[in-house]
Chains A and B, each alone.
Chain A
C-alpha cells in the first residue's frame, strides 16, 4: 500500500499496527475459542463415523434429548408470553421505578445458575422447601423431576425475550396503535395486527436466544435434577456424566449434537442480523 497522507491518516496509530492487531486478535480468539470448538468435532469423529452413529442411537441419549426438548418447549412459550406482555406494559410508558423493574427482569442473567437451582430447591424440596409441605401434600414431585428442571430452564432464560422486544417497542412509538384504535380495533386486535407484527424480528431473535440457552442449560438444571440416568438427565448433564465415567466417545457424541445446536443457533442469529440490514446487536447476552 503506498504511504499517501490519506492512508497514513486512516492507519493511526501506526501503519504496522494494521497488521499486528488483527494478528494478536486472531491468535487469541483462535486459541481461546476456535480450538475448543474444533476439539469437539475432532473428538467426536476420532474413531470414525460408525461408532459415532452407534453412540447417537443409545437409549439413554435419546431420553436425554427428549427431556431437554421438553424443558425447552415449556420454557420458550412461557418466556415469550411474558416478554410480550412485559414489553407492551412497560416499553412505552414512563413511570417511577421503570429502571428498577427493567433491572429486576434482567436479574437472572447476573445470578449464578447454581444459585437459581438452589432457590428452587429451597422453595419446593419436600423436606427443606418453603412450600415443601404443600407440594408433598398435593403429591407433586418438582425437585429431582422434570417440573423443577423446566422451572430452572424458565428462570435462566427469563430475560432474553423481554430484553429484545422492549427496546424495539420503545423506538416504535404509539402512532399506529392509536390509529388502529381510532378506527375501532379492540385491544386484542391492536396487539395481533399492529404491535406484534411491528416487533416480529425481535421476537424471532428472542426465540433463537431463548431456545439456544434452554437447550444448553447446565448448572441450574444440574442442581434440581438429581441426575438420574434415563430419567432426569438432560443432554448437557448427559455429556458431563459420560465424561466423568470415562465414556469419552459417548460424551463427545452427545457434545457434538449439543454443539451443533449451538452452532445452528449462532448461524440463525447471524442470518436474522443480516436480514435486518446489519443492525447489529450490541448487548452481549449471557
Chain B
C-alpha cells in the first residue's frame, strides 16, 4: 500500500508510469468523481456562455448589488472578528478567570451548530419581539432581522471561530521574555503591545480574517433565514444563485457561480500565502514583515 511498489507484481498489466498502488488509485478515483467532475461541469458550462455574455451576466445591476452585500458585509464581519478574536484569544491564553473552559468550548459552537439552527435562532433573537431585537428597536429604532444588519450579524456568528483558533496557538508559543525585556527597557504597555506582540501575531490574525471572510462570503444557511432576500437590499450572492436556478435561468446561475468559485480559488491562494508567511515568521522572526 504505502511502500514503493515491488515491480514484479504489476509489470504485466500496466505501463510503468501507471503503476499506482491501491491507495493512489482510490485517491484519484474519488477525487475525479467527487471533485474534478463537478468542477469541470461548472467550468465547461461557464466557458460555453462566451466571454461577452459572461461579462454581461456577471455584472447585471442585480448581481453587482449582491456582490456589494456579500463581499462588503463579509469584510465588515471578518474585520470585527479580527479585533474581538484577538481579545478572545488573549483572554483564553493569557488570563485565568472562572468560565475560561466554557468560553473556550463556546468558540467552536458556530462550527458544530448546523447553520439552519443558527439561522433560526439569530432571526428570532433579532426580530422585533426577540431578546435583543425588541430592546434595540425600542431604544435606537434599529431593525436587525430582515435587514442588511441581520445579514452582517449572521456573518459575524459564522466567522468568529477562525481568528480565535488561528491566533491562539501563536499567542501560546510567543516568547514572554521579549515582553518582559520590553517592559524592563521602559516600554509602556501600549508600546509593548503594538511594537512587540501584535507584529508577531499579524500573520495569524490576517490568516484568520481571510478564512473567516471566505467562509462568510460563501455562507448560505444562517444568512438566508435572517435576510428578507430582497434584491438590492439584503440579498446575498449564494441566494441569488438559488433564485436564478428556481427561475430556470441556468446561464445566470452558472456565471455567478463561476464568479464565486474564482473568488474561492483566489482566497485559498491568499490564505495559503499568509500561512507560509506565518511559518516563515516563526522560523526567522527578525526578517518578517
Instruction: Report which A residues bind B (CB closer than 8 A).
Output: 9, 12-14, 17-18, 21-22, 24-26, 28-29, 31-37, 39-40, 43, 78, 81-82, 84-86, 88-90, 92, 99, 103-108, 110-116, 118-123, 128-131, 151, 154-155, 158, 177-178, 181, 187-188, 190-191, 195, 212, 215-219, 222-223, 235-237, 239-240, 243, 251-252, 255, 258-259, 261-263, 265-266, 269-270, 282-286
Contact = CB atoms under 8 A, between A and B. Distances in A.
Nearest to A251: B120
A34 B218 CA distance: 23
A85 B22 contact: yes
Interface stretch (B10-18, B23-31, B53-61, B281-289): B23-31
Contacts of B254: 118, 122
Given A22-B95, A155-B38, A266-B108, A113 B220 contact: yes
A107 B26 contact: no
A9 B30 CA distance: 54
* 9 closest A-B pairs by CB: A216-B114, A112-B218, A13-B189, A219-B220, A218-B221, A119-B38, A36-B121, A236-B116, A85-B26
A104 B31 contact: yes
Nearest to A242: B120
Given A21-B87, A283-B165, A36 B2 contact: no
Interface string B78-117: 0000001001101110110101100101111111111111
B1 A13 contact: no
Interface of B: 1-3, 21-24, 26-27, 30-31, 34-35, 37-42, 44-45, 84, 87-88, 90-92, 94-95, 97, 99-100, 103, 105-125, 130-132, 153, 156-157, 160-162, 165-166, 168-169, 179-180, 183, 189-190, 192-193, 211, 214-215, 217-221, 224-225, 238-239, 241-242, 245, 250, 253-254, 257, 260-261, 264-265, 267-268, 271-272
Contact of A12 (B131, B192, B219, B241): B192
A222 B112 contact: no
Contacts of A13: 189-190, 192-193
A104 B27 CA distance: 12
A247 B112 CA distance: 25
B238 A121 contact: no
Contacts of B215: 286
B152 to A, nearest CB: 12
A282 B109 contact: no
Grouping DSSP codes into helix (H, G, I), strand (E, B) and loop, the A interface class, with mixed when no group exceeds half, is: helix
Contacts of B157: 32-33, 36
A103 B125 contact: no
Nearest to B122: A36
Contacts of A34: 106
Contacts of A21: 87, 90-91, 94-95
Nearest to B101: A270
Nearest to B130: A39
B45 A35 contact: no
A32 B118 CA distance: 11
Chain B CB count within 10 A is highest, among A13, A36, A78, A119, for: A36
A25 B87 contact: yes
Contact of B220 (A33, A104, A112, A122): A112
Contacts of B45: 122, 130
Contacts of A88: 1-2, 23
A85 B23 contact: yes
8 contacts: A28-B88, A33-B109, A40-B121, A85-B26, A110-B218, A236-B221, A239-B120, A255-B116
B27 A85 contact: yes
A260 to B, nearest CB: 10
A266 B112 contact: yes
A196 to B, nearest CB: 11
Contacts of B183: 9, 12
A216 B118 CA distance: 11
Nearest to B266: A110
B170 to A, nearest CB: 9
A259 B238 contact: no
A68 to B, nearest CB: 10
A265 B257 contact: no
A66 to B, nearest CB: 17
Nearest to B215: A286
B211 A24 contact: no
A25 B91 contact: yes
A35 B125 CA distance: 8
Contacts of B168: 282
B253 A285 contact: no
A286 B99 contact: no
B41 A32 contact: no
